[in-house]
Amino acid sequence: MSSISENVFKRLRSNIEILDIDGNPLSCSCDMIWLRGWLQQSSSEGPRCADGSLFREVRLSRQDCLKKKQVEPIHPGCETEFIDQSLLPSCKHILFIISIKI
């Protein structure tokens, strides 16, 4: 998995205690800028980008992203809305550990 749609987590974000996506080759692009804001509220180091750099240290601004409007595929054969659709067997390197506060 190289990207996570904000819409996938929009409904769950306030209830997620742990999100472990380490080991995935994250594309640290404008599509993921929402995650950096969420990570800055966390004490966790957070995931790394595909190039090995820490995602939370990537220099992206919302203004720059609005200018670029990049569209990046997650992985050929994988769907982006994992909560609404079942995971396809062809998807590899997908790990979600979600702990919900009760």
No. of helices (H) and no. of strands (E), the chain: 3, 2
> 13-70: per-residue pLDDT in tens?
777 777 777 788 888 888 888 887 777 777 778 888 888 888 888 887 777 777 755 4
The strand pairing partners of 96, in sequence order, are none
Q: Give the pLDDT of residue 68.
A: 59
What global pTM score does this model have?
A: 0.51
- Cβ proximity of 7 and 81 under 8 Å: yes
- Cβ proximity of 24 and 94 under 8 Å: yes
pLDDT of 74 higher than 70: no
Residue of 47, 61, 55 whose CA lies nearest to 19:
47
Of 7 and 12, the one with more pLDDT: 7
β-bridge pairing 98-100 and 16-19: antiparallel
